[in-house]
Amino acid sequence: MTKQLALSILITLGMIVNFSAVAASIATIEIEITKDNKTEKKTEIVTIDGDKARLDFLGTSGEKTDQTPYLLTVDGGKSWILGNTHKGEFYCATVEPAAFFKEIGTIVTEVVALVNPKVLEIKLDKTKEEPGPKIQDVPTTYVQLVTTAEAEASILFKKYQYTIKITDDVWYAPELEIQAFRKRWLEALTQSGYEKLDKMFIAWAKELPGPILKQESEIVLTNVIKNESTVQKETANIISVKDVKSADIPQQTFAVPTCKKITQIELEWAAKEMVKEGKLAL
């Protein structure tokens, strides 16, 4: 799993929504990431039919092929199938969300123990909340969430001090229900076993009780000692939603392939990629 795919999975899961309580639906999501004065646009397709959901990560090409990364569940999110390319080969593997995020918690705990930080604070503040505009003809509520964290440590007699500030402007649909499979993914995310992160994600999810229709984020990472900062901006929009009949969805969309069970080494590798992204579900 690449860092880019890991980020896309978590942004897209936050935006999964069915506008109809009965019909199946196909949504197109556009994600724009700007860093170091470079902007990259990606397209994702989300297909939902009851307990079945498929996320196709088309990337910058905007075209779906046999090598397009995807995430698939047919049991309401109890288990997922991940299709992706690793070391030049396309593969699929079964992934259990709870085990996946527990591995992330283990990695974070090990890193924290290794550097033995003197200060580690993670704080979430809701700074704005007001009625938002209609998106795809659905009423929204706008909130601004600001997450801040700081850490100071000494490694081999060298001191490090960093702060991070993530400002999320989010428009969610308070009248729509979050799908069961997304609830299971978010629940797993809050049970990594690393208490500070788990509390933060619980607080973040509590402020967003409906599906996200639009999100704009700014991530500022600052090296306090050098007084240097890097800024990354991300925007995610649902640009179209189409209600369809189950019979109109291509049969192969929810076909379950024969996959290997992800190995512990692969699980650790994929989890580390998500940790290195520094964003997870924010």
Q: Across residues 217-223, what is the average pLDDT?
A: 89
Residues 6+ apart with CB under 8 A from 97: 77, 80, 184, 185, 188, 189
pLDDT-derived band at 197, boundaries 50, 70, 90 = confident
Q: Is the pLDDT of residue 278 over 60?
A: no
- pTM of the model as a whole: 0.77
What tens digit of pLDDT does each residue of 28-47 get?
A: 888 888 887 888 888 889 89
Q: Across residues 208-232, what is the average pLDDT?
A: 89
Q: Identify which has the larger pLDDT, 157 or 62.
A: 62
Residue 8 pLDDT: 56
Task: Average the pLDDT over each of 12-21, 69-78, 176-185 and give the range with the smallest value.
Answer: 12-21
Q: Is the pLDDT of residue 9 over 60?
A: no
What tens digit of pLDDT does each residue of 113-161 get?
A: 544 555 567 889 999 999 999 988 889 999 999 988 887 766 666 777 8
Instruction: Please say whether the dihedral angle defined by the alpha carbons of residues 29, 71, 47 and 64, taken in this order, is positive or negative.
Output: positive
